[in-house]
Amino acid sequence: MAKPVSIEVWNPNGKYRVVSTKSMPGTRWINLLVQQDCRVEICTEKKTILSVEDIIALIGTKCDGVIGQLTEDWGETLFSALSKAGGKAFSNMAVGYNNVDVEAATKYGVAVGNTPGVLTETTAELAASLSLAASRRIVEADGFMRAGLYDGWLPHLFVGNLLKGQTVGVIGAGRIGSAYARMMIEGFKMNLIYFDLYQATRLEKFVTAYGQFLKASGEEPVTWRRASSMDEVLQQADVISLHPILDKTTYHLINKERLSKMKKEAILINCSRGPVVDEEALVEHLKQNPMFRVGLDVFEDEPYMKPGLADMKNAIVVPHIASASKWTREGMATLAALNVLVCIFYTHITHFVC
């Protein structure tokens, strides 16, 4: 018998039982569920990552739907438990769903949802922030000031790279990759090279139109190019940002060999998923190339970092906060609740991850 897990309950007499494995920002998502006659149970256990056993205890013997988190392992065991409890719906509070086995969910008749769109701009803004922070060495310089080491202006002090006129490389030009590219092109007049399995037509049209606008204003126009291989992006770009999904094709997409193809002073940003980068190879590359810089929001063995990474001055590391704006997090919670409601009321839906 699993240990009971502490919960907070809203609308105790609701007809449908919906469980959220974490407290989520705002109250709109709770109100939406309560208005549709759901009893909402929110896990209040003081534990950052719940185990499969904890979640089985939360599901219990009657559960119509669950809102879960990207840190949880939603596979065969949990979907089988949810199905046994009469559950028809699961939503990840995330756009990425590499923690969810959609095939297992389908096998047990549980529909799966995710939360795309509401986090696009917020995530792209963090990737842009890391790009700036890395190019202008902001975190290193902040540490230097706080350590009391600043004793006057010097021509060589924390010299970084100018973004204007350089090339931004985007790998995975979907929603977030395209939004990031626009920020870097519009904000810093960078040229674009991108690699994706599909053509990013809207992005290409935007860069063409913006280039024409700059030219008409007497400025150097920006340009774009769709690379036929990822290596082209690695060889040509000055700042490279990773935005693909994590799957078998993108695991360790950036490895020792590919790092060696990048410019010695390039900047690499990862706001996608940790395992897209071979982090051990990255630490070695950072040691060998002090002018190569990275900005990382995600890690291969999250929440841990590979040995040596935390000591590298040419790395900026933040704890998976790319979607962490108030508006976005409330939006993600609202979308997740709507996903569960739609699946409870339209039980023929099997999955609609996008």
Ligand X SMILES: O=C(O)C(=O)CO
Ligand Y SMILES: NC(=O)C1=CN([C@@H]2O[C@H](COP(=O)(O)OP(=O)(O)OC[C@H]3O[C@@H](n4cnc5c(N)ncnc54)[C@H](O)[C@@H]3O)[C@@H](O)[C@H]2O)C=CC1
Residue with tokens 């013997």: 61
Which residue lies nearer to ligand Y by CB, 16 or 97? Answer: 97
Using the rule CB under 6 A, is 48 a contact of ligand Y?
no
Q: Compute the least distance from the CB of residue 40 to ligand Y, in Å.
A: 25
Length of the chain, please? 354
Q: Tell me which amino acid residue 235 is.
A: Q
- Scanning the structure block, which residue is given the tokens 């190879």? 281
- Of 46-54, 139-147, 152-160, 237-245, the segment contacting ligand Y by CB under 6 A is 237-245
Find the shortest distance in angstroms from Cβ 295 to ligand Y.
11
| DSSP string of 127-145, one letter each residue | HHHHHHHHHTTHHHHHHHH
Amino acid at 76: E
Q: Tell whether residue 340 is a contact of ligand X (CB under 6 A).
A: no
Examine residue 96 and tell whether it contacts ligand X (CB under 6 A): yes
In terms of CB distance, is 256 or 326 closer to ligand X? Answer: 326
Q: How far is Cα 71 from Cα 282, in angstroms, rounded to an integer?
A: 23
Helical H runs in 224-273?
A: 230-236, 256-261
Chain residues 119-158 in contact with ligand Y, contact rule CB under 6 A: 119, 123
H or E stretch at 167: strand 167-171
Residues 6+ apart with CB under 8 A from 156: none
Query: Which residue's CB is nearer to ligand X, number 63 or number 333?
Result: 333
Choose the contact partner of 293 out of ligand Y, ligand X, none; CB within 5 to 8 A by kind.
none
Q: Report the partner that residue 243 touches, choosing among ligand X, ligand Y, none (CB closer than 5 to 8 A by kind).
A: ligand Y
Task: Kindly tell me which of 237 and 316 has the beta carbon lying closer to ligand X.
Answer: 316
Catalytic (active site) residue 320: yes
What's the closest the beta carbon of residue 320 comes to ligand X, in angstroms? Answer: 6
Q: Binding string, 163-202, against ligand Y, x = CB under 6 A?
A: --------xxxxxxx-----------------xxxx----
Which contiguous run of DSSP H or E holds residue 28? Answer: helix 28-35
Q: Active-site residue 258, yes or no?
A: no
**Looking at beta carbons, which pairs linking 55-63 to residues 24 or more positions away fall under 8 Å?**
55/21, 55/81, 56/2, 56/81, 57/2, 57/3, 57/4, 57/5, 58/5, 58/7, 58/19, 58/21, 59/19, 59/85, 59/87, 60/85, 61/85, 62/17, 62/86, 63/17, 63/18, 63/19, 63/87
- What is the CA angle 255-256-262, rounded to 5? 90
Calculate the alpha carbon distances from 125 to 169, 200, 305 in Å. Answer: 16, 19, 23
Residues of span 63-92 touching ligand Y by CB under 6 A: none
SS3 325: coil
Q: Does 316 sit near ligand Y (CB under 6 A)?
A: no
Number of C-beta neighbours around residue 328 at 10 A: 21
Least distance (Å) between residue 225 CB and ligand X: 28
Instruction: Please pick, among 280, 284, 302, 330, the residue that the annotation labels catalytic.
Output: 302
Q: Which residue number is nearest to ligand Y in terms of Cβ? A: 174
Q: How far apart are CA 124 and CA 147, in angstroms?
A: 31
Say whether residue 112 binds ligand X (CB under 6 A).
Answer: no
Judged by CB, which is closer to ligand Y: 36, or 122?
122
Which of ligand X, ligand Y, none does residue 285 bind to, with CB < 5 to 8 Å depending on kind? none
Under the binding rule (CB under 6 A), the answer on residue 67 touching ligand X is no
Residue 246 is a binding residue for ligand X (CB under 6 A): no
Minimal distance in Å, beta carbon 354 to ligand Y? 7
Interface residue list for ligand X (CB under 6 A): 70, 94-96, 119, 323
Interface residue list for ligand Y (CB under 6 A): 95-96, 116, 119, 123, 171-177, 195-198, 243-246, 249-250, 271-273, 297-298, 320, 322-323
Active site residues: 273, 302, 320
